[in-house]
Chain A
Amino acid sequence: SQTIHQWPATLVQPVGSPLSLECTVEGTSNPNLYWYRQAAGRGLQLLFYSVGIGQISSEVPQNLSASRPQDRQFILSSKKLLLSDSGFYLCAWSEWSSSREDIQYFGAGTRLSVL
């Protein structure tokens, strides 16, 4: 069966520090991968998605970047964190498809506080 791992679970970082959040998926090949952010009491906002190694699409302009160095590894990064980067970051995966709709499965999330 497929599993998704995301770490760390919580993170407190000072303004201006770098960020690296990691997500890995097991039990599937060539998944679609997604990074979302959820502000307190708000819905999920899609930040990045990837349909293959090295292929990253950004949905919103921001202080963050994403990379996919391996098939089942998705990394969210920042060179200098802002206060507004605080939130609940969620990684998700779905079966690869360029058109067919399929269920997204979420990791446990990382709660980031930038102080």
Chain B
Amino acid sequence: GQNIDQPTEMTATEGAIVQINCTYQTSGFNGLFWYQQHAGEAPTFLSYNVLDGLEEKGRFSSFLSRSKGYSYLLLKELQMKDSASYLCAVSPPGGYNKLIFGAGTRLAVHP
């Protein structure tokens, strides 16, 4: 089966850097996704890792270690609009691009 763990809540200050961790235990693994979800809205895609290492996209970066079952999302130069939930999702083997989501980390950015 699959189990995905993320912290429930985090707080950070505007302009700072925050790291949101995600650990997973799966019977197999094809890739890991990060999505952002503002309250009451649909999730939007942020990043995707299939190989070990760091993927950088502007203020957002995501890291993956397959051997450790660990990923993190790094948000730099935090802005108030970054206050949202961040969802970690893994793609299990078997194809068809199915995703298994964690419960999400609710990030609150303060002035």
Is the CB–CB distance between B31 and A101 below 8 Å? yes
CB within 8 Å for A109 and B42 given contacts A43-B103, A101-B91: yes
* Closest Cβ–Cβ distance, residue B11 to chain A (whole Å): 17
Chain B interface, number of residues (Cβ within 8 angstroms): 25
From residue A18, how far is it (CB to closest CB) to chain B in Å? 25
Choose one: B43, B95, B96, B103; the contact of A106 (CB below 8 Å): B43
Q: Say yes or no: A43-B96 contact (C-beta < 8 A), given A90-B42, A106-B42, A106-B44.
A: no
Interface size on A, residues (CB 8 A): 29
For the residues of B in contact with A, the DSSP-based class is: loop
Q: CA–CA, A42 to B37, complex, Å?
A: 12
**Which B residues are CB-close (under 8 A) to A108?**
41-42
Interface residue B50 (Cβ < 8 Å from any Cβ of A): yes
Q: Which residues of B contact A78 (CB under 8 A)?
A: none
Q: Is the CB of A46 within 8 A of B96?
A: no
Distance to closest chain A CB from B19 (angstroms): 20
Of all A-B residue pairs in the complex, the 5 with the closest CB atoms, nearest first, are A106-B42, A43-B103, A43-B101, A44-B101, A101-B31
